[in-house]
Amino acid sequence: MHKNFLAIKDFSAEELDYILKRGLYLKRRFESGEIYRPFKGRVLAMIFEKASTRTRVSFEAGFDQLGGTCIYLNSADMQLRNAESMQDTARVISRMVDIVMIRTAMHERLEEFASCSLVPVINGLTNESHPCQIMGDIMTYMEQRGPITGKTVAWIGAANNVLYSWLNAASILGFKVNISAPIGFKLNTSQLPKDRSCLEFFQDPMEAAAGVDIVTTDTWKSTGYDEDNEKRLGNFARWQVTPEVMSAAKKDAMFMHCLPAYRGQEVSAEVIDGPQSVVWDEAENRMHIQKAIMEYLLLGKLDE
Ligand code: CP
Ligand code: NVA
């Protein structure tokens, strides 16, 4: 039976640690100019039901660098648009390609596809999670600071898919997440890890950021939450990551953001464009960590 990468919680600490270290290793090999083509003759299909810049380019460039070929599919151009089911789409596509990445709204659609797929399926973002993003973010922390175990992340702002993936990673890898989200935007408890000892709630963003290693946030207007978006803009002003919020964190704390970002809303320009920001490294590391994820799904654990 093949393995999918649908959610962080489906993986053990050992597996996540292997993939993270492998991402760092593959990045070093790539930067040294080494040619490594384990995916020669293999095909990745990418299905997008939502817009993307980073996810598309990082998967496509990464698979190509490892010797494979990619097919970009926008669901608006597919029979999905005419209500062909995810299951039938999976039955067809997975007979022709080796691995599939899907970005969609409802997580159930991803699971429907995976339930009928003959090949590994990767979550490229759903309304409930964004596991590749968090793997890239943790890789970025490890690359510049070392192990994340025992560290603390402050999430300031909208509770969303990216936060849920942070929380699930925290419960497996042993770090903490302080959450300061505006009142009235409750967390979707079905997405929280079973063991909630890794998370703590704070009303005041300054308290959530006190002494932490990473400060992170995300857009106030996530895709897939459209009915709430106007209300969100009105309520969020206090939850902007400003230099003052950063000054509450550790001196060498990193600022992270999955991007796209909106300067003057969830983060001030001084912070995202400032010296503590690692947002471009996070974006770049999406490509390297996804190579490691795809390699693990297609080839298993490797020594070399
Ligand atoms: N962070 C991220 O997934 O970006 P895109 O929406 O551009 O893919
Ligand atoms: N929370 C954002 C992340 C975009 C990468 C969204 O779901 O739109």
The two structure tokens encoding residue 44: 């990745």
Q: Name residues whose C-beta falls within 8 Å of residue 40's C-beta, 6 or more positions apart in sequence.
A: 67, 68
Identify whether 218 is a catalytic site residue: yes
**Segment 184-204, tens digit of pLDDT:** 777 888 999 999 999 999 999
- The pLDDT value given to residue 127: 95
Residues 119/94, Cβ–Cβ less than 8 Å: yes
Q: Where are the beta strands (DSSP E) in 25-96?
A: 43-48, 69-74
Strand partners, 21: none
Q: What are the structural domains, with CATH classification, of the chain?
A: 8-130+286-299 (3.40.50.1370), 132-282 (3.40.50.1370)
82 annotated as belonging to a binding site for a ligand: no
To the question of pTM greater than 0.90 for the whole model, the response is yes
Atom of ligand 1 nearest to the CA of 50: 6
What confidence tier does 303 reach under pLDDT thresholds 50, 70, 90? confident
Long-range contacts, 29-33 (Cβ 8 Å, 24+): 30/65, 30/288
Q: Which atom of ligand 2 is nearest to the CA of 161?
A: 1
Whether 178 shows a pLDDT value over 70: the answer reads yes
**Average pLDDT for the chain:** 95
Cβ contact 120:3 at 8 Å: yes
Is residue 198 annotated as involved in ligand binding?
Answer: no
Q: What is the pLDDT of residues 111-147, one digit of tens each?
A: 999 999 999 999 999 999 999 999 999 999 999 999 9
For the question of residue 103 being annotated catalytic, the response is yes
- Close Cβ partners of 244 (under 8 Å, ≥ 6 residues apart): 206
Q: Which of 133, 191, 240, 276 is catalytic?
A: 133
pLDDT for the residue numbered 226: 62
Q: pLDDT per residue over 255-298, tens digit each? A: 999 999 999 999 999 999 999 999 999 999 999 999 999 999 99
pLDDT tens digits for range 142-160: 999 999 999 999 999 989 9
Known active-site residue 116: no
For a mutational test of ligand 2's pocket, the pick from 53, 164, 218, 229, i.e. the residue with the most ligand atoms closer than 8 A to its C-beta, is 218
Here the tokens at position 135 are 């793997």
Backbone angles phi, psi at 255, to 5 degrees: -100, 130
Sheet containing strand 43-48, edge to edge, reads: 69-74, 43-48, 99-103, 121-123
- What do you get for the CA distance between the two ends of the chain, in Å? 24
Q: What is the pLDDT of residues 202-232, one digit of tens each?
A: 999 999 999 999 999 999 888 876 666 666 6
Residue 5 DSSP symbol: B
| ipTM summary value | 0.99
Task: Give me the percent of the chain exceeding a pLDDT of 90.
Answer: 89
Residue 210 has a CB neighbour count (10 Å cut-off) of 16
Cα 198 to Cα 212: distance, rounded to the nearest angstrom = 14
Among 53-57, 85-89, 195-199, 225-229, which stretch is predicted with the lowest mean pLDDT? 225-229
Sheet holding 214-217, edge to edge: 199-201, 176-180, 152-156, 214-217, 254-257
DSSP summary character for residue 66: T
Catalytic residue among 42, 107, 130, 257: 130
Point out which residues pair with 86 in neighbouring strands: none
| Amino acid symbol at 196 | R
Residue 300 CA to ligand 1 centre (angstroms): 26
